[in-house]
Structure 1
Amino acid sequence: MPALDRRERDEFLQQPGILCRIATVDSSGAPHVTPVWFICEDGAIYITPRAASEWLDHVRHDPRVALTIDDQNPPYRKVVIEGVAEVVRQPGDDAAWRDLYRRIAMRYVPPEAAEHYIQETIDQPRALIRVPLEGARIRTWRMPVRGEPYRGIWHDRYYLPGTKLARESGQPPSEGNQR
């Protein structure tokens, strides 16, 4: 699949309404995945767990995270980020960064509804998590768009020898299957 260039990636990460899924590691070493609202600003992904979120404790124990951000419509853009999360604000310090939280909420609901949501949940403290893009492993891809060749939509390791897509990608035919 074609990778997103940096401009395409950054534009995609600015699109409202797309969820992020954060994968953390619990204290037993088991994976834990949670869908979350996010915003991408200043070269980082920001996420706001509630004080009682299980995954906030996971990040405190082991800050390694994986994020997946993808859309459900063509061209099915996907961004996978493997990085290190930082707890930049502890629960109870919410007033210091409430404008950022407001911007996050407005990515998912209209401004008046976002403000209502904030006011209704203002007494529920949240932390602020930052996952810097610099230093993270970032992979991106999307389906080809009109006019782009379909060949090459997958990594070469997925083309089984002798299959149509392997032939079209230029792989030599496998023994016993010379078609």
Structure 2
Amino acid sequence: MPKLTDAERNAFLAERKVVMKIGVVRPDGSPFVTPLWFIHEDGAIWFTPRERSEWFDCLRRDPRCSLCIDEQPLPYRKVIVEGRAELVHDVGEDDEWRDLYRRMAARYVPEKDAEAYVRNTIGERRGLFRVKLADAKVRTWRLPLKDEPGEGIWAKRYFQDPNVQFDTRGPEKS
């Protein structure tokens, strides 16, 4: 199964409009997943919950999280991160990281509108979290590119028959 190189991973994480899903643990132990904006800078994934969001409370109580950043079009790139979210700035400290928030907003709305978005939501107090990639378990995956062999794109553990050979066209008996 092809993995993204660090350069491919960083380029993918820098693409505009790619949304992240975060999985956190509720107080009763059940999972909670929500999509959100993020930015990848300084070897970390940065994200910001509003003060009253459920997942903010979950991370305050238990910083373990799972991040899924993926795409639907080929080559189906994905980055999965399992780690601990660090609260870098708590609510009320928004002015200290407002520039990072502007850069984050500019990834999802036209740059000319990013400042207006920040200004219009400035009353919504937020925290700022990060997950350092060096301190997390990071897995990447993508389909083979045109010049790469298509065999072995799925882990063999997914197949009950050990004699199955597989490529981008699907499993075949050998």
TM-score, normalised by the number of residues in structure 2:
0.92
Q: Decide which structure has greater strand share.
A: 2
Deviation (angstroms), 1:58: 0.4
| Contact 1:159/1:165, CA 8 A, preserved across alignment | no
TM-score, normalised by the number of residues in structure 1:
0.90
Q: Is residue 165 from structure 1 mapped to residue 149 from structure 2 by the alignment?
A: no
| Contact 2:154/2:166, CA 8 A, preserved across alignment | no
- The CA deviation string for residues 32-52 of structure 1, in whole angstroms up to 9 with x for no partner, is 001010001111100010000
Match of residue 53 from structure 1: 53
Deviant stretches of 4+, over 3 Å: none
Match of residue 169 from structure 1: none
Q: Please show how residues 1-179 of structure 1 align to structure 2 within 5 Å.
A: 1-161=1-161, 162-165=163-166
Take 2:73 and 2:19, find their aligned partners in 1: how far apart are those partners?
13
Equivalent residues, number: 168
Deviation (angstroms), 1:11: 1.1
Take 2:38 and 2:77, find their aligned partners in 1: how far apart are those partners?
17
Match of residue 170 from structure 2: none
Structure 2 counterpart of 1:43, one-letter code: G
Question: Which protein has the larger Cα radius of gyration, Structure 1 or Structure 2?
Answer: 1
Take 1:20 and 1:106, find their aligned partners in 2: how far apart are those partners?
15
Q: Which runs of 5+ in 2 are unaligned?
A: 168-172
Take 1:13 and 1:30, find their aligned partners in 2: how far apart are those partners?
28
Take 1:95 and 1:61, find their aligned partners in 2: how far apart are those partners?
24
| Contact 2:75/2:142, CA 8 A, preserved across alignment | yes
